[in-house]
Amino acid sequence: MADLREELVGALSRIYGMESIEAFAEFYQGELHVLQYLFLHSGERIYPSSISDALFVTRARVTAALSSLRRKGFVRMEIYENDRRRMTVSLTKDGVAFVREKQKNVMGHFDKLIKILGETDTKALIKIIHKCANASVNNHAGVGK
């Protein structure tokens, strides 16, 4: 069992260092995570607090990320008309272009990976990933019982 565990850990470590995985993981941390959320919810009224709640990030971290993104020209923040204490957040055209370019880069990496693996192995990998994700969800559900 220990040998198999070590082999699994080693294989996962190599995957984590892959360019495609690093590029994909970037969408789930820091400023790009905020930009991706705004991109996926464009057209909706979004408040900093809703970003914090949805991404499980502190309000202070969201505020810092939004300030930085505003300085870069990727987001605009507007005071809500009916309640001047509230602020809405949206992507600028530059923000949308930045996210799309990052997405294009990530999808290119995955297209290469799919080409290397082929359809059968890609589908098998997807099935295994789902099985791992479901096992993780099930394990977390039982915590504290």
Residue pLDDT, tens place only, 20-54: 788 888 878 889 999 999 999 998 989 999 999 99
pLDDT of residue 121 exceeding 60, the answer is yes
Residue 77's DSSP bridge partners are 89
Range of the domain at 67: 20-141
Tell me if 28 is assigned to some domain: yes
Of 83 and 103, the structure prediction assigns the larger pLDDT to 103
Question: Around Cβ 111, how many Cβ atoms within 10 Å?
Answer: 11
Tell me if 42 is assigned to some domain: yes
Percent of the chain at pLDDT exceeding 90: 59
pLDDT at 34: 96
Tell me if 5 is assigned to some domain: no
Instruction: Give the CA count within 13 Å in the CB-facing half-sphere of 118.
Output: 2
Count Cβ neighbours within 10 Å for each residue of 62-78 and write b for 16 or more, e otherwise: beebbeebeeeebbeee
pLDDT of residue 61 exceeding 50, the answer is yes
Identify the CATH number of the domain in which residue 86 sits.
1.10.10.10
Closest to 47 in 3D by CA, of 96, 83, 5, 94: 83
Tell me if 65 is assigned to some domain: yes
Give whole-number Cα distances, 137 to 15, 60, 63, 72, 145, in Å.
21, 28, 30, 37, 14
pLDDT at 23: 81
Q: Which of the four pLDDT bands, split at 50, 70 and 90, describes residue 144?
A: very low
Which residue's structure tokens are 């990933």?
129
Tell me if 9 is assigned to some domain: no
Tell me if 1 is assigned to some domain: no
Please tell me the total count of domains within the chain: 1
What six digits make up the tokens of 65? 């990320």
Q: H helices within the chain, ranges in order? A: 2-16, 19-25, 30-40, 48-55, 59-71, 93-141
Tell me if 120 is assigned to some domain: yes
Q: Which of the four pLDDT bands, split at 50, 70 and 90, describes residue 13?
A: confident
Instruction: Give the CA count within 13 Å in the CB-facing half-sphere of 44.
Output: 11
Tell me if 3 is assigned to some domain: no
